[in-house]
Amino acid sequence: MKMSRLYAPTLKEDPAEAELASHKLLLRAGMIRKGASGLYSYLPLAWRSILKIERIIREEMDAIGAQEMQVPILTDGELWRQSGRWGVYGPELMRLKDRHEREFALGPTHEESFTDLVRNELRSYKQLPVTLYQIQDKFRDELRPRFGLMRSREFIMKDGYSFSADEESMRQCYQEEKEAYARIAERCGVRALPVVADSGQIGGDSSVEFMALADAGEAELVYCDDCGFAADVEAATAKVHVTEGAEGELERVHTPGAGSIADVSALLGVEQSGTRKALALVDGEGNPVVCFVPGDHDMNDVKAEHAFGAYHLMTDEELEQYGLVKGFIGPVGLPQGIRVCADESLRESTWWLVGANEADYHFVHAKRGRDFQIANDAWVDVVTAKPGDLCPKCGRPLKGARGIEMGQVFQLGTKYSEAMGATFADVDGHEQPLQMGCYGIGVSRTVAAVVEQHHDDNGIIWPVSVAPYEVEVIPLSIGDDVVWPVAEQVADGLAKEGVEVVLDDRKERPGVKFNDADLMGFPYQVVCGKKAVKNGNVEVKDRATGERSELPISEVVATLA
């Protein structure tokens, strides 16, 4: 590829709208461009990285016997009604109507579509298990699209679904996906920790998030280098009994995959505002809808003994009592719902949002005592979470880090198959609901995660496995009849060996070429300067280490190929 032909419009200045390194650098290197809020074009360089990530995903999926296919992006509203998600998904679901006023949604995920697909065709235990996946654009009307590819409204996801005859087989499929996800992260050059998002009924985990370690990550983590333990600082478990159907305003809302206050607020379509210590979920008018109250405790200093469960809808009096306009958000949360906060005096307060016993549901406006009890043996059982705390598994000190959610795997059980009537005949001929798992990994977000982990002040430092090109050949003067033929010869030689190479054939000053090369971040630069070439050499720069070495022109192709 000739640099003069490459469509990669670079920017000299940091774009004002970008805060994160990945966002800035992908824009500056001419890899992405914004169309509208949360909508990005992937320019040729980004697209090449995306294709490489997809290839890695495909190879790992093929290796575990998952089969690639595609379902339509546009999904029938009727399917979402059948699963029960139409009413509860909230404003994140992009809904639209066709000319006949029939309702559709642009798929944010495709449990419904895949369950519908197999429900009349996977009829016998003999056909199971089956794992299907696709790599496709997803749509989510995120409350706050931001950080470039990190949180966009249209993004590329690999989503997979397994269908099994029994729980054991489902767990097996889940385990295989989990292991494949770890390999995918590693092969993409991403250091990611599998963080338990949800503990299963009988030990083990039923959902794990793959968190790419990066300061820019939204999640706060603790982890242990020695034994591999990793947890969200907000992870905790609590026992709550909810009596459904009690009188009052108890309202059950679906909060699929909600792992944080941010998730729940997004799903409920309410805003978060405030600081780390003071944060509430407010409605469009700015009224607190759900608040979280840590009282006087520093959020980093919350212990199980003074923590208690639930979101709390603060009354005006309480807001006043705490000197708040919008309320607080508390420190510790549960993937499945209940949140933990720190002030004893509020235990008797009135309105709460609590986790339903069923995964992925919350009740809002629940009243303690009337609608639910908290088991007295455990207000909460907090997975304490401060760097320096001792690892609950091996007793060594935990480290702290922030993480980007790169992927997540779930054991779904029969949630969708029961709701949508996807059954099969077991060995005895009895109809049983399919046992499902679902597995998502963000392809475009992975590009951002790679850049977060691999950059310096000058630009991106691509790992070879996902680099748009592997080598850039930089002749320092293209008019020179000593330098130019050597540069061309090296570039051609590399290309013949199957190395992806860009030749900077532009009539630019060396400084400009060096800057662009560092910014775009291809792993190796072959610098062809007059003096070296006259001595029969070129200089190879390793972008990651900055190391430069002179190599004979005759050896450079063999060395880099």
φ, ψ of residue 372 in degrees (nearest 5): -155, 155
φ, ψ of residue 149 in degrees (nearest 5): -70, -10
| Residue 48 contact partner, candidates ligand ATP, Mg ion, none, CB within 5 to 8 A by sort of partner | none
Distance CA 523, CA 525 (A): 7
Examine residue 38 and tell whether it contacts Mg ion (CB under 5 A).
no
Examine residue 257 and tell whether it contacts Mg ion (CB under 5 A).
yes
φ, ψ of residue 451 in degrees (nearest 5): -65, -40
Examine residue 166 and tell whether it contacts ligand ATP (CB under 6 A).
no
The least distance separating Mg ion from the CB of residue 416, rounded to whole angstroms, comes to 16
Examine residue 411 and tell whether it contacts Mg ion (CB under 5 A).
no
Examine residue 259 and tell whether it contacts Mg ion (CB under 5 A).
yes
| Residue 444 contact partner, candidates Mg ion, ligand ATP, none, CB within 5 to 8 A by sort of partner | ligand ATP
| Total residue count of the chain as it appears in this document | 561
Examine residue 113 and tell whether it contacts Mg ion (CB under 5 A).
no
Q: Judged by CB, which is closer to Mg ion: 90, or 529?
A: 90
Examine residue 336 and tell whether it contacts ligand ATP (CB under 6 A).
no
Examine residue 407 and tell whether it contacts Mg ion (CB under 5 A).
no
> Looking at beta carbons, which residue is closest to ligand ATP?
442
- What do you get for the CA distance between the two ends of the chain, in Å? 16
In 470-509, which ranges are continuous DSSP H helix? 483-496
φ, ψ of residue 171 in degrees (nearest 5): -65, -35
Distance CA 453, CA 278 (A): 30
DSSP letter assigned to residue 537: E
| Residue 463 contact partner, candidates Mg ion, ligand ATP, none, CB within 5 to 8 A by sort of partner | none
φ, ψ of residue 259 in degrees (nearest 5): -115, 0
| Residue 152 contact partner, candidates Mg ion, ligand ATP, none, CB within 5 to 8 A by sort of partner | ligand ATP
Among the listed ranges 68-76, 281-289, 435-443, 548-556, the one in contact with ligand ATP (CB under 6 A) is 435-443
Identify each DSSP E strand in 414-529 by its residue range.
423-425, 431-433, 435-442, 455-456, 459-460, 471-475, 501-503, 524-528
Q: Pick from 24, 140, 178, 368 the residue near ligand ATP by CB under 6 A.
A: 140
- Token pair recorded at residue 42: 């992937």
Q: Pick from 49, 75, 109, 453 the residue near ligand ATP by CB under 6 A.
A: 109
The least distance separating ligand ATP from the CB of residue 186, rounded to whole angstroms, comes to 16
DSSP H or E segment with residue 363: strand 361-367
Examine residue 405 and tell whether it contacts ligand ATP (CB under 6 A).
yes
Instruction: Compute how many other C-beta atoms are within 10 angstroms of the C-beta atom of residue 235.
Output: 23
Instruction: Compute how many other C-beta atoms are within 10 angstroms of the C-beta atom of residue 477.
Output: 16
Examine residue 83 and tell whether it contacts ligand ATP (CB under 6 A).
no
* Number of continuous H segments (helices) and E segments (strands) in the chain: 13, 37
Q: Judged by CB, which is closer to ligand ATP: 405, or 452?
A: 405
- Token pair recorded at residue 185: 């992260």
| Residue 407 contact partner, candidates Mg ion, ligand ATP, none, CB within 5 to 8 A by sort of partner | ligand ATP
Q: What b-and-e string marks burial along 425-453, b requiring 16 or more CB atoms within 10 Å of the CB?
A: eeeeeeebbbbbbbbbbbbbbbbbbbbbb
Q: Pick from 194, 440, 468, 475 the residue near ligand ATP by CB under 6 A.
A: 440
Strand, coil or helix: what is 501? strand
The least distance separating ligand ATP from the CB of residue 474, rounded to whole angstroms, comes to 34
The least distance separating ligand ATP from the CB of residue 261, rounded to whole angstroms, comes to 11
The least distance separating ligand ATP from the CB of residue 489, rounded to whole angstroms, comes to 42
- Number of residues counted as binding ligand ATP (CB under 6 A): 19
Distance CA 174, CA 108 (A): 21
Torsion of CA 388, 390, 396, 400, to 10 degrees: -40
Q: Pick from 406, 451, 487, 501 the residue near ligand ATP by CB under 6 A.
A: 406
Examine residue 521 and tell whether it contacts ligand ATP (CB under 6 A).
no
| Residue 155 contact partner, candidates ligand ATP, Mg ion, none, CB within 5 to 8 A by sort of partner | ligand ATP
What is the identity of the amino acid at 110?
H
Examine residue 152 and tell whether it contacts ligand ATP (CB under 6 A).
yes
Q: Pick from 14, 179, 244, 263 the residue near ligand ATP by CB under 6 A.
A: 263
The least distance separating Mg ion from the CB of residue 228, rounded to whole angstroms, comes to 20
Q: Judged by CB, which is closer to Mg ion: 220, or 505?
A: 220
Which among 37, 36, 41 has a CA at the least distance from the CA of 27?
41
Among the listed ranges 11-19, 115-123, 236-244, 255-263, the one in contact with ligand ATP (CB under 6 A) is 255-263
DSSP H or E segment with residue 321: helix 316-321
Q: Residues interacting with Mg ion, by CB under 5 A?
A: 257, 259, 405, 408
Q: Residues interacting with ligand ATP, by CB under 6 A?
A: 109, 140, 142, 151-152, 155, 157, 257, 259, 263, 405-408, 440-442, 444-445
